[in-house]
Chain A
Amino acid sequence: MNSLFPNVQWETIWAATSETLYMTGMAVVATFILGIILGLLLFLTAKGNIWENKLANTVISSVVNIFRSIPFIILIILLIPFTKVIVGTILGANAALPALIIGAAPFYARMVEIALREIDKGVMEAAKAMGATTAQIIWKVLIPESLPALISGITVTAIALVGYTAMAGVVGAGGLGNLAYLEGFQRNHNDVTFVATVLILVIVFIIQFIGDFVTSKIDKR
């Protein structure tokens, strides 16, 4: 093993892996919640819906589009002052979170919106005819009925987030991306880059597997 990967220090690798997992995990949870809120707002304020409001819809939609359009690496740099204020530092795994979440949530919000639009209008009408409140429609109809699409959407987003963590690593957030860049690229240790890449691939495959499994379990259509 050591002759095959002479420069790999396994302890550092595991530390980097757990940092990557930490960043991805935290960002996925926050993106899931924020994305669903934004997606619901986009959906509900759209034309012909419960909270139809052209102004609100345009504002939310523009914000989502703007943040979705900024390349992630630039977004990190733009958010440095903001990160400094709320996290207190611009180094380490926590410092990567604001950029990760702000980068991924609008992306996921669009997927949530599409998932909600796929719900049969008749089912919402039925719920309204039964006297459901808007909150009941959201919790008992919209979210359960779109759950498979919400889960497959967050799977795609989580995989994108793994890529984002690697980019964030380059500017000092830690994790496997940081390791591959500093140890692997800058010191010309190709074996480290290779191991980091393989581990990132493994993480991606595991996420995809879990996502597919959960989606197929909850989809009763």
Chain B
Amino acid sequence: MITLSNVTKIYKAASGNVTAVDHVNLHVAEGEIFGIIGYSGAGKSSLLRLLNGLEKPTSGEVIVDGKDMGKISGSELRQARQQIGMIFQHFNLLWSRTVRENIAFPLEIAGVPKEERQKRVDELIQLVGLEGREDAYPSQLSGGQKQRVGIARALANRPKVLLCDEATSALDPQTTDSILDLLVDINQRLGLTIVLITHEMHVIRKICDRVAVMENGKIVEMGEVLQVFRKPEQPITKRFVKQVTEPEETKEAIAHLFDQYPNGKLVQLTFVGDSTEQPLITQLIRQFDLTVNILQGKISQTHHGAYGVLFVHLAGADDAIERALAFMRQQQVEVEVMASE
């Protein structure tokens, strides 16, 4: 559905050129939810805007639904854009229009006749769950409701692709989850391809099929979400993964534990998919002569299965610990022995 080949975007500025997107290659399949994560200034916003021609690539090719978004212009570009919905961090609704009129806006642009427009708006209001708020103005809505209007508006012309620009970053955690659920629902019901950018790993974990990590305009890591969670390779990816797997106080707690347990080993276990359901700890205790102390644990659900992290302390004879580690490594579990700092 979307293919980027060797795409570079350079902004010319008085203080020198800024490379926002640097030789990016990317393919997003039809019906996929693809996430791009990075800190602000990583170039993800520019990358997203290349997909609907709001920005033109300096070099390289951006193909969306068979159209070269960097080359087409005029009415051809406007037609193509009607097939690509977009939602925004700050919603970007027209305050002068009611919910109904805001959703009708892209239909007016596309020249849909009035009667059909009203029918379509009613469908969309149902789809995003805004019944009863049709005649409210944006200023009377909550953030979550505004984003629902944004989504309805983006879907009005039955696009094939939906671009989400930090769509949940201005929302509280609960509202974020309800909007993410809505996106998954739309993706499954309409078979829509979704590309989203975010700086929250939570968003990636919850709904994405695949993820690309961006840093300084480059994609430094890309893969299926569960794989990236299990084996993050780049330091920046590890930092993002920690956002969801490690509660903030973990570091302090671990430091404290090294003082408390000078003997034995502190081990971080990472479970993915089915392995999260194995009674691993029970097996450890039964098979080896060890004391196992569970220090901290967390299981996160991703779009494609569970992902868990467990911190345990193993105490006992050195060779028993070694054998236990070897056993665990055979069980589809990532094992990392933590060293004291």
Contacts and interface: CB of A to CB of B under 8 A. Distances in A.
A132 B78 CA distance: 7
A161 B90 CA distance: 40
B84 interface: yes
Interface in B75-112: 77-82, 84, 86, 88, 90, 92-97, 105-106, 108-110
Contacts of B78: 131-133
A50 to B, nearest CB: 12
Contacts of A11: none
B58 interface: no
Interface of B is mostly: mixed
Interface string B258-298: 00000000000000000000000000000000000000000
Contacts of A129: 52, 54, 81, 84, 86, 163
Contacts of A128: 54, 81
Interface string A116-152: 0000101101111111110010001100110100000
A221 B139 contact: yes
A217 interface: no
Contact of A122 (B79, B84, B92): B92
B137 interface: yes
Contacts of B138: 220
Nearest to B108: A140
Contact of B96 (A125, A126, A132, A144): A144
Contacts of B105: 127, 130, 140
Interface in B34-67: 52, 54
Given A130-B82, A130-B106, A123 B139 contact: no
Contact of B79 (A131, A140, A145): A131
Interface string B144-186: 0000000001000100000100000000000000000000000
Given A122-B90, A132-B78, A220 B109 contact: no
A123 B92 contact: yes
Given A125-B54, A129-B52, A144 B94 contact: yes
Nearest to A143: B96
Interface of A is mostly: helix
A156 B63 CA distance: 51
A131 B96 contact: no
Contacts, number: 66
A127 B97 CA distance: 14
B54, B78, B90, B96 pick with most chain A CB within 10 angstroms: B96
Given A130-B106, A140-B108, A123 B82 contact: no
Contacts of A132: 78, 109
Nearest to B79: A131
Nearest to A122: B92
A218 B84 CA distance: 32
Given A132-B78, A144-B94, A220-B139, A122 B88 contact: yes
A130 B95 contact: no
Given A128-B54, A140-B105, A220 B95 contact: yes
Contacts of B108: 136, 140
A221 B95 contact: yes
Contacts of A218: 96
A130, A144, A218 pick with most chain B CB within 10 angstroms: A130
A4 to B, nearest CB: 50
A147 B153 CA distance: 23
A154 to B, nearest CB: 17
B94 A130 contact: no
B77, B79, B105 pick with most chain A CB within 10 angstroms: B105
B82 A145 contact: no
Nearest to B110: A131
A129 B92 CA distance: 11
B244 to A, nearest CB: 29
Contact of A131 (B81, B90, B92, B93): B81
A144 to B, nearest CB: 4
A127 B52 CA distance: 12
A140 B86 CA distance: 18
Interface in A160-199: none
Contacts of A125: 54, 88, 92
A126 B109 contact: no
Q: Return the 3 tightest CB-CB contacts between A and B, nearest first.
A: A131-B78, A131-B81, A122-B92
Interface of B: 52, 54, 77-82, 84, 86, 88, 90, 92-97, 105-106, 108-110, 137-139, 153, 157, 163
Interface of A: 120, 122-123, 125-133, 136, 140-141, 144-145, 147, 218, 220-221
12 contacts: A120-B90, A123-B92, A129-B86, A130-B157, A131-B77, A131-B79, A131-B81, A140-B105, A144-B96, A145-B95, A220-B96, A221-B139
